[in-house]
């Protein structure tokens, strides 16, 4: 009775190229649109997870290990597994529906989410989101 | 002996309430529509048969936990649940959207 597919919810993508990857809902379209007459949402997720960083690593190594590769996608609700976790990273201005129109806009959106995800990873919060799901 | 009698009585009352929901309320049968009703937060009570595969059962319970919707584990398998719904097919899980005249939502979520 409580809607849970809301922005900032962490989800796991179940189908497609990014199956098994964790993502965060940026914008949800419960009713669907004319092009997509089903419930779907815009997600920003992690294509390549950051590696484990240990205290022994040099500055150059931690930077290399903390790199995150991102993706931006419109996914059907049926192809997502919602979780109880949330990730409050402000991506609303960066990831928009028209960011997916052209390739270079998409690349720019991915670059910006990459920055935000990397700085969030460096603070050490939301550790669940940045660990790879083992299956 | 008292416990056995009590479960039989409550089991019949669930069946009665379900029959009333089938007659007067809104419901959906089946795993896909149950998840749909949970995503759109339309479901008010979920009933799962006892021979539901454990992964599917856990998945429905997880969605229901996110949704804060009650789940009732029906005392019977999918064949029995289908019969209780008045259908001639097996029903593994069902979602009650509108209870109609029945009080199943108020009386059932107490027992899990």
Q: List chain A residues with CB under 8 Å of B65.
A: 84
ipTM: 0.90
| DSSP one-letter code for A50 | P
- Reply yes or no on whether the pLDDT at B94 is more than 70: yes
**Mean pLDDT lowest among A24-38, A58-72, B16-30, B96-110:** B96-110
- CB A11 within 8 Å of CB A80: yes
Which residues of B1-112 form beta strands (DSSP E)? 26-29, 45-48, 70-73, 93-98
- pLDDT at residue B26 in the model: 95
Task: Report pLDDT for B106.
Answer: 85
Q: For a pLDDT cut of 70, what percent of chain B falls above it?
A: 91
To the nearest whole number, what is the mean pLDDT of chain B? Answer: 90
In chain A, which residue's Cα lies nearest the Cα of B38?
A1
In this model, does residue B51 exceed pLDDT 60? yes
Q: Please, which pLDDT band fits residue B24 given cuts at 50, 70 and 90? A: very high
Calculate the average pLDDT of chain A: 93
- In this model, does residue B18 exceed pLDDT 80? yes
pLDDT at position A87? 93
DSSP annotation of A133:
P
Average pLDDT over residues B31-49: 95
Q: Check B41 against A1: CB less than 8 A apart.
A: yes
Task: Kindly report the nearest CA distance between residue B43 and chain A, in angstroms.
Answer: 7
> At residue B110, does pLDDT exceed 70?
no
Higher pLDDT, A76 or B106: A76
Helices (H) and strands (E) in chain A, counts: 2, 5
Q: A26 with A95: CB under 8 angstroms?
A: yes
Handedness of CA B103, B108, B109, B110 (dihedral sign): positive
Task: Report whether pLDDT(B93) > 80.
Answer: yes
In a mutagenesis test of the A interface, which of B39, B68, B98 is the best target, namely the one with the most A β-carbons within 10 Å? B39
CA distance A30 to chain B (A): 7
User: Is pLDDT at B4 greater than 70 in this prediction?
Assistant: no
Nearest CB neighbour to A39, from listed B39, B43, B67: B39
Q: Confidence class of residue B6 from pLDDT cuts 50, 70 and 90?
A: low
pLDDT at B112: 47
Q: Which of A1, A5, A81 sits opposite B68 (nearest CB)?
A: A1
Please report the pLDDT score of residue B1 as a whole number.
Answer: 56
> What is the pTM assigned to this prediction?
0.90
Across the range B47-65, mean pLDDT stands at 96
Per-residue pLDDT, B3 = 53
């Amino acid at each position: 009775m409580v809607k849970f597919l809301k922005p900032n919810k962490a989800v796991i993508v179940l189908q497609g190229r990014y199956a098994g990857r964790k993502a965060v809902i940026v914008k949800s379209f419960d009713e669907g649109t004319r092009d997509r007459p089903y419930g779907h949402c815009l997600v920003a997720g992690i294509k390549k997870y950051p590696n484990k960083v240990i205290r022994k690593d040099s500055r150059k190594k931690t930077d290399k290990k903390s790199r995150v590769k991102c993706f931006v996608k419109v996914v059907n609700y049926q192809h997502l597994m919602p979780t109880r976790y949330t990730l409050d990273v402000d991506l609303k201005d960066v990831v928009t529906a028209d960011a997916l129109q052209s390739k270079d806009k998409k690349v720019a959106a991915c670059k910006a989410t990459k920055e935000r995800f990397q700085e969030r990873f460096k603070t050490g919060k939301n550790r669940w989101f940045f660990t790879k799901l083992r299956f | 002996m008292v416990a056995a009698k009590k479960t039989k009585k409550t089991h019949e009352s669930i069946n009665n309430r379900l029959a009333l929901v089938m007659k007067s309320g809104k419901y959906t049968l089946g795993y896909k529509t149950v998840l749909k009703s949970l995503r759109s937060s339309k479901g008010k009570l979920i009933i799962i048969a006892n021979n539901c595969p454990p992964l599917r059962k856990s998945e429905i319970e997880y969605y229901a936990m996110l949704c804060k919707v009650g789940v009732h584990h029906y005392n019977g398998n999918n064949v029995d649940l289908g019969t209780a719904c008045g259908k001639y097919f097996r029903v593994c899980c069902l979602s009650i959207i509108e209870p109609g005249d029945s009080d199943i939502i108020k009386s059932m979520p107490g027992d899990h």
